[in-house]
Amino acid sequence: MAEPAIELIGIDKRFGAVHANRSIDLEVERGTIHGIVGENGAGKSTLMSIIYGFYQADRGEIRVGGKKVDITDPNAAIAAGIGMVHQHFMLVHNLTVVENVMLGAERSPLLRKGIATVRAELKRLEEDHGLDVDPDAVIEDLPVGLQQRVEILKSLYRGADILILDEPTGVLTPSEADHLFDVLQQLRAEGKTIILITHKLREIMAITDNVSVMRRGEMVATRKTAETSVAELAELMVGRRVLLTVEKAEARPRDPRLSVEGLTVRDGRGVTMVDDVSFSVRAGEIVGIAGVAGNGQSELLEALSGIRKAKAGRLVLNGREIDPSKEADPAEIRRIGCAHVPEDRHYMGLVLPFEENENAILGYQDDPRFPEGAAARPRCHAPRRARKD
């Protein structure tokens, strides 16, 4: 066995009555890709947040390279050579790629000199690892796959030898996920250590060397990936035998609920992203729209949900004709019966300082079907203060 890059000994963490991590022991070999799997709420992200210094363990010890380290905050983790790519990216949306990478690691009191240094280092990292991205692009203009590349570049720029990725493929297309795995394999070949948090067992089987399973806050098993199977990992995750195939009845679609004819949509730059698209969706069927990120899927859904004004086209939703070229009106689309779950729920779908019930009522707070009162109506003028972290 290779020397452990990182060891966790008896890590324990509570949040009030919730026992998130229960005396966890873990060894991650240097120069390997180590997967950690478990159901939602198993404690995976909490454990990684402890390693990266967002949380501090109530008990236990962390060793990096055989030496005990006190990781009291992310700066201490970075100093120990640990980087983390979060499930929800930690980027400033109105800054450029190079500005995000250098933020907090300027290396010079003169910003112009610092930017030149970062730009040169970014070019080297991009060429070495196949992480091409325009350094002058503004983050909010980049698809999520490229935003993830920026997060990886941030960690590499800060000298990370241990890289944690939390659910990295959840926002990626299959081709983007394949490219990410190529990057991770290259980083492993260079001696980097990767910890991969995911619930996609086939990805675990394809990319990792070892895999650990968490269940209800405990580390229940560690296996060499070549010596386990999807069926065994699934059973370890839930504590019982799991059926991996589901019998489905044949679909019986009915009348059209949504008809789209000649829809054309432009983005904020005036570039045509959806060009004369027509299709229909019938009651009782699921219609998939596939494509590499940046090919108009987001703009299409925004036009259908009334968020973005279309250039031309015709929509019929639940029997009601809508002119999508008129000023967008998401409330009207919602009243007719079309809901939209956005690609980035944190950025577009939620007001994070609000509580769950306040988010749930947004857009319906004036609906007479719902009662008056603080429990049902959001505190739009006095939201709960967001945490500083």
How is residue 290 written in tokens? Answer: 């596939």
Mean pLDDT lowest among 28-32, 119-123, 206-210, 363-367: 363-367
Number of Cβ within 10 Å of residue 267's Cβ equals: 16
Look over the chain and give the mean of its residue pLDDT values, rounded to a whole number: 86
**Homologous superfamily of 256-349 in CATH?**
P-loop containing nucleotide triphosphate hydrolases (3.40.50.300)
Put the strands of the sheet holding 272-282 in their side by side order. 272-282, 256-266, 312-317, 320-322
pLDDT mean over 305-318: 90
Measured between alpha carbons, how far is 207 from 224 in angstroms, rounded to an integer? Answer: 12
Give the pLDDT score at 113. 59
Of residues 277 and 379, the one with the higher pLDDT is 277
List pLDDT tens digits, range 163-222: 999 888 877 777 778 888 988 999 999 899 999 998 888 889 999 999 999 999 999 999
Dist CA 177 CA 122 (whole Å): 22
Q: Is the dihedral of CA 129, 139, 90, 297 positive or negative?
A: negative
Q: Which tens digits make up the pLDDT trace of 70-97?
A: 999 999 999 999 999 887 788 888 899 9
Please tell me the distance from the alpha carbon of residue 275 to that of residue 256, in angstroms, as a whole number: 22
Alpha helices (runs of H) in 108-173, residue ranges in sequence order: 111-129, 144-157
Domain extent listing, the chain: 4-238, 256-349, 352-389
Same CATH topology for 4-238 and 256-349: the answer is yes
pLDDT at 12 > cutoff 60: yes
Categorise residue 294: left if φ over 0, alpha if ψ from -120 to 50, beta otherwise: left
Lowest average pLDDT, out of 37-51, 173-187, 358-372, goes to 358-372
Give me the pLDDT at residue 208, please.
95
Whole-number Å distance between alpha carbons of 365 and 360: 9
Phi, psi of 319 (to 5 degrees): 85, 0
CATH architecture for segment(s) 4-238? 3-Layer(aba) Sandwich (3.40)
Question: Residue 389 is encoded by which pair of tokens?
Answer: 């972290």
Return the pLDDT at 1: 54
| Tokens, residue 123 | 């070019």
Highest mean pLDDT among 11-20, 111-120, 376-385: 11-20
Cα–Cα distance measured from residue 225 to residue 51, given in angstroms and rounded to the nearest whole number: 23
Query: How deeply is 155 buried, as exposed, middle or buried, from its count of CB atoms within 10 A (0-12, 13-18, 19+)?
Result: buried
Mean pLDDT across 306-323: 89
